[in-house]
A and B are shown apart, each in its own frame.
Chain A
């Protein structure tokens, strides 16, 4: 049972920026996810609409998975840039 820090980190001037960015990203993704859940709960037949040969449910599902990855990549790029800029 280790209780010390796993990795010793120096002072991180980008911390505040990263926290704010994380909250913004979280809100964006949560809204996308919440819309998906709410449509499914209130008007599920809309999810059967055919768009580009697939049901909306399939398209939205794939979108949520890909969007998660895209946001994660953007978040990492912005955090890394901020660390380089602020922790000189």
Chain B
């Protein structure tokens, strides 16, 4: 898609990002030491901390990825919202209180304080590094997504801007993000997404979404055709023609036909109907042998690849209407449920040296898209497909409590009561936001704003349909969130290398300046890796990528955390084995999954396994490793009775 930029949007964006950065620097200067950063927690009010929880947790992934997935796959995208929120229950009820009693900030500290084991130090450091990098990928992809419509820059430039800016911040100034900045960003994100949702409900639903009158919606063409006795296709609009062997091509076999008109090619979906064949317009991206990409048969700049998203038949109170006018939240969902919405299917077709991705219309009853099954195969699904779905839901449930950077905030308030209260504020704010994602996603789905090549942009583009100011503010908040999250992750990852690996595990005798220099070099290297991965994973749904990060974190960390807290016979070797097995199995499954095969440029069907979510295998494996190794090493190691009894 081609976007036009407005100087106002760019100006607002730059100002906002500079303001947030300035605020970060100002607050960071006041809390320069690591101790100061944590000790500041003693004074933080539980409400501020609670909203900051939301600021931390609602990364670009929640906002961009979930909305994008709802916009293209309906309810299945919202399953991520439900799973992410449910994860807080594991964190609040099982992990937070006992870990706070252990008096530790992160699981790494908690694990190691009991055993002081070299192998735990090594495994915990590697795990922190891997989880941080996995969590960095979606943030970087999100950054690339945001700069395209806003600044008119290609994806990789956005990724590089974030990577370079953050790496410089981290490498020169240290941690530039505090509770107050997260509070500020979390509150703004909640306020402005509420404004967009109110706008969506106020605008109501229509069959020809013109974005409040600002942009005509593309009218999809439909033609009839018949097949002659010699197999040739005769089309109702004679200005189009098809090749004689259209049916024998790869496209023909996949249910499509390539038509030519005035020397320009187009691809149409072929549907059987009572009166012959019905041809429906598609959108397609063709990659030629030399790597050139054509969008709907032309160069990207020609803007032929339009935004989509509309309702085919709009029903309200049993009557078919063209538009509804403003609706209540439940009225909005109810109208969608009774209507038919056009969703988009996607097929990969290889012909010789060229590969084509065809996006075709899938009119879907609203009641069908307001229940699971459009992205995750659960209807008439094979065992593996059901397994894949369950595995993802387990990863989302178990991931939150295993993310090293999330639990830290539980320790920044003075008392346990305040910690719980702030968690509740956090859960309320995050839950409210996740309710809104349903309306944002469906709003994008029906407002003609979806870019099919990258659904991550759905929410910002929905905001754009309400005007450039709202769009710039929302994009800026999301971008600032990316900066904050990326800084935090790079600090965590470089800390794992410099502090846990080099200093503690390898026992390298370094001066303070040496340690700081090692940390900075590590930050630059991790930043470089994150930039590279952010470019490679362009176009992949951000929330899906976060799902992987959750799966890796849950597999590597959660069994160790839970068993240390609740099983007296846990040993240091058991913990190290559990982290290793969880990490390796989760990573291994991801690397040979169908979705990774697409990234390697191979067909997803060629992958040795047919599911993408590792958690249902890797978490049990990690538990088993811990139990087996702990039982085998009982005599050699001191069991953690006091931890379990605490």
Q: Name A's B-contacting residues (CB within 8 A).
A: 1-7, 9, 12, 15, 18-19, 22-23, 25-26, 29-30, 33, 36-38, 40-42, 44-45, 47-48, 50, 53-58, 61-62, 64-66, 68-69, 71-73, 75-76, 79-80, 83
Contacts and interface: CB of A to CB of B under 8 A. Distances in A.
Nearest to B500: A1
Interface in B463-511: 495, 499
Contact of A68 (B41, B85, B333): B85
B89 interface: yes
Contacts of B187: none
A9 B379 contact: no
Contacts of A75: 92-93, 420
A3 B101 CA distance: 14
Q: Which of A19, A53, A56, A83 counts the most chain B CB atoms within 10 A?
A: A19
A44 B370 CA distance: 11
A58 B334 CA distance: 10
B378 interface: yes
The 7 A-B pairs with the shortest beta carbon distances in the complex, nearest first, are: A5-B103, A6-B411, A57-B371, A47-B371, A22-B93, A26-B93, A44-B378
Interface of B: 34-35, 37-39, 41-42, 75, 78-79, 81-82, 85-86, 88-90, 92-94, 97-98, 100-101, 103-105, 109, 330, 333-334, 337, 367-368, 370-373, 378-379, 381, 386, 389-390, 393, 397, 411-417, 420-421, 423-424, 427-428, 431, 434-435, 438, 495, 499, 646
Nearest to A24: B93
A54 B371 contact: no
Given A68-B427, A76-B421, A7 B386 contact: no
A66 B397 CA distance: 16
Nearest to B408: A6
A6 B372 contact: no
A55 B438 CA distance: 14
A59 B27 CA distance: 43
A3 B109 contact: yes
B97 A57 contact: no
For the residues of A in contact with B, the DSSP-based class is helix
Contacts of A4: 35, 103
A38 B41 CA distance: 41
A12 B101 CA distance: 9
A45 B379 contact: yes
Given A15-B646, A19-B97, A1 B499 contact: yes
A23 B434 contact: no
Given A7-B411, A33-B397, A44-B379, A2 B92 contact: no
A54 B93 contact: no
Contacts of A44: 371-373, 378-379
Nearest to B373: A44
Contacts of B103: 4-6, 9
A71 to B, nearest CB: 7
Contact of A64 (B41, B75, B86, B94): B86
Given A25-B93, A83-B417, A5 B104 contact: yes
A47 B74 CA distance: 14
Given A1-B499, A68-B89, A83 B416 contact: yes
Contacts of A62: 435
A82 B100 CA distance: 17
Q: Which of A3, A4, A6, A19 counts the most chain B CB atoms within 10 A?
A: A6
Contacts of B34: 1-2
A64 B435 CA distance: 11
A48 B367 CA distance: 6
Contact of A65 (B92, B371, B423, B431): B431
Contacts of B393: 33, 37
A47 B371 CA distance: 6
A33 B646 CA distance: 29
Contacts of A7: 41-42, 411, 413-415
Contacts of A56: 371
Contacts of A26: 89-90, 93-94
A85 to B, nearest CB: 13
B337 A23 contact: no
A69 B428 contact: yes
8 contacts: A6-B411, A22-B92, A40-B373, A44-B373, A47-B371, A58-B370, A65-B82, A75-B93
Given A7-B415, A40-B378, A72 B423 contact: yes
A38 B103 CA distance: 37
A33 B438 CA distance: 19
